[in-house]
Chain A
Amino acid sequence: MATDAKLVGQSVARREDEKLLLGRGAFVEDIKVPGTQWLSLVRSPHAHARIRSIDTSAALQAPGVTAVFTGKDIHPRFGTNPTVPLRFYGAESAPYDLIAVDKARHVGEVVAVVVADTRYGARDAADLIFVDYEPLEAAIDVEKALRDDAPRVHDDRPNGIIHWRHQLGNVSQAFEEAAVIVRERIVNQKIHGVPMEPRAGLAHWDPVQETMSLWATVQTPHALRDHLAEILHLSSDSVRVVAPDVGGGFGVKHEDPEYALLCIASMHLGVPVKWVATRTEDFLAMHQARGKTSYLEVSADADGKLTGLRVRHLHDLGAYAKGPEPSLSASSAMISTGVYDIPNVEFEVRNGYTNTTPQGPYRGAGRPEGIHLIERGLDRLASELGLDPTEIRRRNYLPPFDQPMRTGGGDVFDSGNYEASLDQVMELSSYRQLREQQQQARAEGRHMGIGVASWVKTGGSGPSPVDPSSSRYEWGRVRVDRGGKVTLFTGSSPHGQGGETVFAQIVADVFGISDDDVTVLHGDTATVAHGVGTYGSRALVTGGMSAKIAAEKVRDKMLKLSAHMMGCEPDHMTLEGGVFVCTTNRERTLPFAEVADASFQVLARPADMEFGLDEDSFYQPSGLTYNFGTYIAVVEVDTETGDVDLQRLYTVDDQGVIVNPMTVVGQVHGGATQGIGQALYEISEYDQTGQLLNASLMDYAIPTAEMTPEFVVAFSETPSPLNSLGVKGMGEGPTTGAPSAVVNAVVDALSPLGVSHIEMPLTPERVWRAIQDAQG
C-alpha cells in the first residue's frame, strides 16, 4: 500500500469510470423501490394568467390514479419555497409558491400534481385536469418589464426589485478626457444548462419513523435536505437526501419545487413516489441563465490605456428570485473590469421580475456576461486605435501578483499573471503566423478571423465581496479502520468532474499511501453528516482542503500514537511512504495498519488519547480564488450564408496547482464547448406572449460533435495563496472565456466589411444580417 510517489499532479485513472462504462451506474431513474407510484405535473401553458378554477374530477376517476392535488390543497400546510434572502441588497423577494395558487407567472409553472400507479397512467391523467385560466398581459423583456407601466408579475410589488451601484474614481471626467470611447448595448442571451440527465426524484416517506428519504439528481444534497426540512416542518435529521450518480449539473441542479412536491405526495400516500422530467419540462421549468441586457461604455487614452468603464446591467430574474441569482447580477458587473487596471469605474445593476422561467446560476454564474462586456469593448477600442487585440490587452493587464489584491470592480483577486498567459497562448497558436495566414486568406477573398479573450473567474466560495456574510464551508471527515483502510466522507458530491478520484489523490498523499486504500463516500446525507456541495468552482478548493485537513489531523494523531508505541520522541516521528519511522533510530518502524489497530487498543495508547482514528474539518476559505486564462479562436466565415466555421480554439488556463491533469483537460474541453454553445448556437427564444419557442432538443441547439472545434490546450500554474494545496477552482473558466474569443474572431473576420459587433448567438442569420447592415 505504501508509495513514495506523490499522487497530486498525476493523471490518475478515474475510479468513477468502470461502472459507468458497464452500464452499472445508478442514476435516480435507475433506482427502484417496490410499490413506487409515478408523479406527473400539470404546467401552465400561459406566461401570465389568473387561475379561476381547476377541475380535477376526471383525473381522479382515471384508472390507477391515487392522488391529485393543487396549490390550494397544499398551501395551508406547506406554503411556499423558503424565500431567497437578499440581505446584501436590503430587499425581500416575492413569495414563491410550490404550486401556483391564484396566478401562474411563467409557462411551465406547476398548477397541479397527479400520482398514479404507472408512469404512462400518470401522464394520461394529467391531461384530464381542466384549468380555467384568465390570460393576462405578460412582462417578457426585462428592459420593458422595468418600466412603470409594465404588467406586474407580482401584484403587490413593482417588477424592479433590486438596485445596486458601485463607483470608483470619476468616470464622467475620464470620458471627457478620453481619446476614444466605445458605447454598445450588449445582450447576454438567456440559455439553458441542459445536463444530459433530466431532473428526477424518488421520495419515500416512512410513516413509522416519520422520516423522508429522497433520491434526487442534484449538486447539493445537503442544501436540498435543509430546504425540504423547512418546507415539510421536519428536522434536518429526519430528511435524508441522496444524490446518486448525477448526469451533469453545470449549476442548474438545485432545490427545485418539484422535489418538495414529490415528498408531499409520498407523505400523503405513504408510498414511494417517483418523477422523471421530460426534456421539455426541463426546458420550461428548470432554471435558465445569463439573461442580461447591458449598456457598456468604455474609454481609453491615445495609447490604448483604459481610463474609464461604465456598465449598466439589466438582469432578468424570471418570475421568481431563485438561489443566489440576485447577487450574481452584482458579481457579474464587478468582474467586468476583467484582468485589467481601470482607474474609473461605475456600475448600476437592476434586477427585474418577468413572466419567464426563473433564472439561476449556470456554469460561469454571471461572470461570462461581465467578461464579455470588457472583452468586446477592448476589441472595439483596439480597432478604433489601430492596435492589435493582443497589444491593447498587454497595455492594460494588472501586473503579476501573488497576494490578494482589490480590483477596480471590487473583487479581491488572490493571485494572477495575466500577461504570461497571453504570451503562452500566442506561442501555442503561433499567433504571428495566424495573422499572416489571415492576410493570405483575405487576399484570396476568404474571411478568416482571429479572436482573443482574456478572462478571470471566481471559485472556491469563500466570503464574497458582494456579500461577506455569505461565506460557505465544506466538510470532510477522514476515518481509518483497524486494518488501516482510509475512508473520506466529503460534502462535495461530484457529478462528472472526477472528484472521487481527485479527493483520493489528496488524502493518499497526506499518508503516503496508495489511493487504492482510500475510499471516497459522498452524496448521501445519511452517511455524510454535513456539506455544502459542488458548484461555483468550489469542490477542489473547499472539498479538497477539508479532506486534506481532516486527513492531516488523523495523521498527526497516528504520529503521536506511533511515537508512544516505539518510545520515540514525537518530534522525531515521520510517516514515510505509509510507514512510521523514528528518525533518531531508523531501524525502528511501524506499519500503517499496526498503528491503526493500536488506536483501538486500551494498552497501546497514551492515557490521554481518545480511541480511534476519526477526524473532521469544517473548512472555511478566507476568500475567493480567481482562475484565469487567455483564449484564441480561429474561424472562417462564409459571407454568402453567414455560416461560421470555428476551426480551432487555443486555450491557456491557470487554475493554480493541478491535481489531475487528465481531468483538467476534460474540464477545459467541456467548459469551452458550453461557451461555444452560447457564442454560436444557444438561445432561449421567447415570443412576446411569453411562449418558449424552442423547448426541446430539436429546436434548442447544444453543440454536437460536428459543431465543436479542435481544442489545443495548455496550462500554467500560479498557486493560490489562500490554501495549502495552492489550488483554485477551474471548471467555469472555459465557459467564461470561450464566448468572447469566438465572437471576437467572427467580428475580426468581418471587420473589413464594416461589421463592429454581433449579438450572441452568432447564428448564420444574425451573421448574414450583420453583414447586410454593415454594407448598407
Chain B
Amino acid sequence: MAESVSITLTINGTEHSINVEPRLLLVHAIRDVIGLTGTHVGCDTSQCGSCTVLLNGEAVKSCSMLAAQADGQQIETVEGLAHADGTLHPIQQAFAEKHGLQCGFCTPGMLMMSKALLNENPNPSRDEIRHALAGNMCRCTGYQNIVLAIEFAAEQMAR
C-alpha cells in the first residue's frame, strides 16, 4: 500500500502527473485525485455505465480499469464535452431538448457513450442506439427520451 506509481493522464487536453496506489481505479483517480467529479460511480460490478469516459476516443468504464493502466493515454470526460466558449455540445443540447435526463446521475455516462456511438456510427437506427446503451443504466427516464435525444443529436451533427 505504501508503494505508489507515477503516471501521467491527459484529461480533456490537460496533462496531469500524479502518484497513485497501483490498485487505484481510474474512476477514483479522475474523481478523487484530479477532482473532476462529473464522472460517477453507480455500481461495483461494471454494469451501470455511470463511469463511462472515452479512452483514446473509445468508451470505457473507468471503474473497471486501474489508473496505472491509463498511464500516458488520452481521456475525455463529461467536463470536456462542451465547446471552449461554454456552449453545450449538440449531444448535451439534445438531452435537454428531449428531456433525456431527470436526476442526472447516469447522464455523464450516457453522454460519453452517445459520443462514442456517434463517432462510430453518425446515423444510428433506434435499435442500434438501444443496443449501444445496453451497458448504461438509467432508473429515471425509461430510455425513450434518451434514444430520441441521441437520434436528434445525430441529425443536428449531420447539418
- Interface residues in chain A, defined as those with a beta carbon under 8 Å from any beta carbon in chain B: 13-14, 16-18, 20-27, 29-30, 32, 63, 119-121, 124, 194-198, 245-248, 250, 276, 278-280, 495-498, 662-663, 665-666, 668-674, 696-698, 702-706, 708, 710-711
Contacts and interface: CB of A to CB of B under 8 A. Distances in A.
Given A196-B42, A711-B142, 4 more contacts: A23-B108, A63-B1, A196-B106, A669-B144
Contacts of B111: 21
A196 B48 contact: yes
A23 B79 contact: yes
A196 B146 contact: no
Contact of A665 (B24, B41, B99, B129): B99
A705 B42 contact: no
The residue among B21, B32, B137 with the most chain A CB atoms within 10 A of its own CB is: B137
B102 interface: yes
Contact of B104 (A247, A276, A704, A705): A247
Nearest to B92: A21
Interface in B82-136: 82, 88, 92, 95-96, 99, 101-108, 111, 129-131, 133-136
Contacts of B95: 17, 21
A119 B32 contact: yes
Given A18-B88, A21-B111, A120-B23, A496 B104 contact: yes
7 contacts: A20-B101, A21-B107, A63-B1, A278-B44, A666-B99, A673-B141, A705-B131
B38 A22 contact: yes
Given A248-B140, A674-B139, A702-B137, A196 B103 contact: yes
Contacts of A247: 40, 42, 103-106
Interface of B: 1, 21, 23-24, 28, 31-32, 35-45, 47-48, 50, 77-79, 81-82, 88, 92, 95-96, 99, 101-108, 111, 129-131, 133-147
A647 to B, nearest CB: 13
Contact of A670 (B28, B42, B129, B140): B140
B142 A669 contact: yes
Given A280-B44, A696-B45, A704 B133 contact: yes
B105 A704 contact: no
B142 A670 contact: yes
A611 to B, nearest CB: 40
A165 to B, nearest CB: 37
A30 B38 CA distance: 8
Closest 9 CB pairs of A and B: A23-B38, A247-B105, A20-B104, A496-B103, A669-B142, A23-B78, A673-B142, A496-B102, A30-B37
Contact of A17 (B28, B43, B96, B141): B96
Given A279-B45, A669-B142, A248 B28 contact: no
A662 B97 CA distance: 10
A196 B102 contact: no
B139 A670 contact: yes
Contacts of A26: 37
Nearest to B46: A698
Contacts of B79: 22-24
B111 to A, nearest CB: 7
A286 B103 CA distance: 19
Contacts of B147: 705
A27 B142 CA distance: 22
B33 to A, nearest CB: 11
Contact of B145 (A30, A250, A497, A666): A666
A247 B36 CA distance: 17
A706 B146 CA distance: 12
A120 B21 contact: yes
B105 A698 contact: no
Contact of B130 (A16, A670, A705): A705
Contacts of B28: 119
Contacts of B144: 669, 708, 710-711
A697 B137 contact: yes
A333 B87 CA distance: 52
B44 A696 contact: yes
A698 B45 CA distance: 6
Nearest to A24: B38
B126 to A, nearest CB: 9
Contacts of A63: 1
A14 B141 CA distance: 14
A240 to B, nearest CB: 22
Contact of A705 (B1, B139, B143): B143
The residue among A121, A246, A697 with the most chain B CB atoms within 10 A of its own CB is: A697
B103 to A, nearest CB: 3
B32 A21 contact: no
Given A670-B102, A706-B134, A708-B144, A194 B96 contact: no
Nearest to A13: B96
A197 B105 contact: yes
Contacts of B107: 20-21
B109 to A, nearest CB: 9
Contacts of A24: 38, 79
A711 B146 CA distance: 13
A119 B31 CA distance: 13
A768 B99 CA distance: 38
A27 B106 CA distance: 12
Contact of B102 (A497, A697, A710, A711): A497
Contacts of B134: 704-706
Given A666-B145, A670-B142, A22 B82 contact: yes
A120 B67 CA distance: 14
Nearest to A676: B142
A280 B44 CA distance: 7
Nearest to B147: A705
The residue among B47, B136, B138, B142 with the most chain A CB atoms within 10 A of its own CB is: B142
Contacts of B108: 23
A25 B50 CA distance: 14
Contacts of A16: 104
Contacts of A498: 102
A697 B48 contact: yes
Contacts of A702: 137, 139
Contacts of A13: 96
The residue among A25, A495, A663 with the most chain B CB atoms within 10 A of its own CB is: A25
The residue among B23, B31, B101, B136 with the most chain A CB atoms within 10 A of its own CB is: B101
Contacts of B135: 704
Contacts of B130: 705-706, 708
A21 B142 contact: no
A16 B31 CA distance: 22
Nearest to B133: A705
B40 A696 contact: no
Given A63-B1, A672-B142, A705-B147, A195 B41 contact: no
A23 B50 CA distance: 12
Nearest to A669: B142
